Each structure stands twice: as structure tokens, then as C-alpha cells.
Amino acid sequence: MKKIITLFIFAIFLAFNAAFAQTNLISNWCAGTTTGTGTKPTDVGWLCTPAATFVWNEANASGGCRFVDVTTGWPYNSVPYSGRLMYIRWDGGNALSYFTYPVTLQACKNYTFSWK
């Protein structure tokens, strides 16, 4: 009986661990799915340094750094991707820029970072 209770508690722990392991710390990184006014990356917390050399555009505009809504194509790991991407230009005066987004990390935690 003691082993069954221990295994049950361990299974619950694993279930909670798996649920929390996939928490997106920057859930508002893409301003939802809205386009146009108010959907520049800077409006939801993205920064670029040096800011003076970089152009931020609204979602689905042309040029600069912006959100891009992909509906078909763009394979990712051999699977067609659809969703919102952050489109970053690394040309001209922007080549030495770096991007940041405010995230609070906690001590003694493991984090997995990914980027498409």
C-alpha cells in the first residue's frame, strides 16, 4: 500500500511538472493576433539597442522589425508553420543591434529557450 501511495504521489508530481514545464514566460510577446495600429513590437515590451538605428513597423507591414502572420508555407522542422513570427532585419546599421524582452527568471529553476 505504501508503494502505491508513493507511486501515486510521484505520478501527480510528474503531471504538475510537465504542465508547468511548458509555461511561456513571454506570453504577450506577439500582441495577440491583431494587426495595424498598436501592434509594433515596442508596444508589447520588445526593445532594440541601439534604438536610434532600428525601424519598428506594425504587424504585417513591410521593412523593419515587425510581427509577421504566416498562414501557409514556411516549413519548420519539415512541417508547414502557421502563426505569428517576429521578423528581425539584420542589415545596414542594424547589424550590431540586439533585442531584449523583459522576463523575470527565478533562482533554482530550469528554463528552455527556443526560437523558430
The ranges assigned to domains in the chain are 24-100
> Would you state the torsion angle of the CA atoms of residues 58, 62, 67, 71, taken in this order, to the nearest 10 degrees?
120
pLDDT per residue as tens, the chain (116 positions): 555 544 445 445 454 445 455 667 777 888 887 888 778 898 888 888 877 666 788 998 888 889 988 887 777 777 787 888 888 877 766 667 788 888 888 899 888 877 76
> Hey, is 53 helix, strand or coil?
helix
pTM: 0.65
